[in-house]
Amino acid sequence: MKNVHRPKDHVVLLYVPEYHTVIQSPMVMTDVSVVTDLLHDEEKRIKGFLETLGVKLKGAGIGGKVKSVGGNPGEVIVKVSKDEGADMVILGSRGMGTIRRTLLGSVSDYVMHHSHIPVLVCKHPDVHKH
């Protein structure tokens, strides 16, 4: 905020939920209604999270909106940035280790290599200790 945001900026906070954690639950194999219930609970959690983001945006006096789009996170971020006419993508880093990042891929790596605009990756000081 201190280094990049300008008062007239329009910020789009994008959340890309990953449903694989719901689908990989051991209960999924036993009952289809369990999947429905798990997905419904996840949708409620996501809605609450988006509302919290909206409140933070408004509380900071920042103009913008909050969106949730399902899909592959890197692909979704690149597509939404194009659709929204973004000038910059700013994303966080989860702090995965080198081996895990190599095997699973990195959302920030994908976005940096496929984005048509500048990408700023912010590392949280608690996760990335020097």
pLDDT confidence of residue 105: 62
Asked if residue 35 and residue 11 are part of one domain, the reply reads yes
How many C-beta atoms lie closer than 10 Å to residue 107's C-beta?
22
Q: How far, in Å, are 14, 62, 99 from residue 7 at the CA level?
A: 20, 7, 40
How many C-beta atoms lie closer than 10 Å to residue 86's C-beta?
20
For 126, phi then psi, to 5°, come to -75, -30
pLDDT confidence of residue 100: 59
pTM confidence score: 0.76
Number of domains in the chain: 2
Asked if residue 120 and residue 95 are part of one domain, the reply reads yes
* Domain boundaries, position 53: 1-71
Return the residue matching tokens 């201190």: 2
Q: What is the mean pLDDT of residues 107-128?
A: 84
- 121 in helix, strand or coil? strand
Asked if residue 66 and residue 122 are part of one domain, the reply reads no
pLDDT confidence of residue 25: 57
Asked if residue 59 and residue 3 are part of one domain, the reply reads yes
